[in-house]
Amino acid sequence: MLSWIVWRDLMLAWRRRADALSTLFFFVIVVSLFPLGIGPEAELLRSIAPGVVWVAALLASMLSLGRLFENDYQDGTLEQLLLTPQPLYLVVLGKVAAHWLTSEVPLVCIAPLLGVQFGLSNETLKILVISLVLGTPVLSFIGSIGAALTLGLRSSSVLISILVLPLYVPVLIFGAGAVEASIMGLNPSSHIYLLSSLTVLSLIFAPWGTAAALRISIE
């Protein structure tokens, strides 16, 4: 049954490709603006690269959060999802998984290409991808709580940012930290381990929070 939710959301995303593509383009443009604005100072670019890519990833993932439950809420399918004979935890897990696949995975795929603009080495690019693969699910999970809490509110997109961006800070610190360590020739594994633990924690706890928030929002 979990697969039905994932299939449904992937299908919907495919039929509305422009939404997912706009997130991707936003990410590409924001990251590309920095080398253009700062100029070809290789050393400086290399040192700001981790922060720039990670901050852009956070902002890009904010863009797609509003859509996570809002469309389902508007057309009444969310009520049906809440009344399906399976734990709401699984429903949320399916929706977040689909969100990650459609909104975050494209960012992870394009990130190495953008890293090249900043003169990152192959080894660092690898760490960048690993940190994004581990970190972006956390963005989806934490974001889903914010999306569920602000469901149906006016100016919900601004509220989501205020609610969720502070919670993204640990991911940003460890994600960018891993890449930075790799640039300086240090071992990034401690950052990667911490990032993995965040992923596991959010996988376990965030769907509960989102499920509870959805029940409150739908009343």
Partner 1 sequence: MTPGSFLQVTGANGSGKTSLLRILCGLLTPSEGRINWEGANIRSLGEDYFTQITYFGHRPGVKDELTTVENLRVAAGLSGIALSKQKTAEALERVGLAGRESVPARLLSEGQRRRVSLARLAICSTRLWLLDEVLTALDKTGVAFVRSLIEEHLADGGMAIVATHQDLELSRGLAKRLELTT
* Residues at the contact surface with partner 1, assessed by CB under 8 A: 1, 4-5, 7-8, 11-12, 15-16, 74-77, 79-87, 218-219
Residue 172's CB is within 10 A of a number of other CB atoms, namely 18
- 113 exposure class (CB count in 10 Å sphere: 0-12, 13-18, 19+): exposed
**Amino acid letter at 112?**
P
CB-side exposure of 122: number of CA atoms within 13 Å? 0
Shortest gap between Cβ of 80 and partner 1 (angstroms)? 5
**Amino acid letter at 160?**
I
Minimum CB distance to partner 1 smaller for 157 or for 217: 217
Minimum CB distance to partner 1 smaller for 45 or for 78: 78
Shortest gap between Cβ of 27 and partner 1 (angstroms)? 24
Minimum CB distance to partner 1 smaller for 11 or for 186: 11
Shortest gap between Cβ of 149 and partner 1 (angstroms)? 17
CB-side exposure of 105: number of CA atoms within 13 Å? 8
Minimum CB distance to partner 1 smaller for 77 or for 157: 77
Closest CA relative to residue 107, chosen from 39, 72, 56, 71:
56
Shortest gap between Cβ of 146 and partner 1 (angstroms)? 22
Q: Using the structure block, give the residue that is written with the tokens 């990152």.
A: 120
Shortest gap between Cβ of 8 and partner 1 (angstroms)? 5
Shortest gap between Cβ of 87 and partner 1 (angstroms)? 6
CB-side exposure of 31: number of CA atoms within 13 Å? 30
CB-side exposure of 94: number of CA atoms within 13 Å? 18
Minimum CB distance to partner 1 smaller for 15 or for 154: 15
Minimum CB distance to partner 1 smaller for 8 or for 46: 8
Residue 199's CB is within 10 A of a number of other CB atoms, namely 18
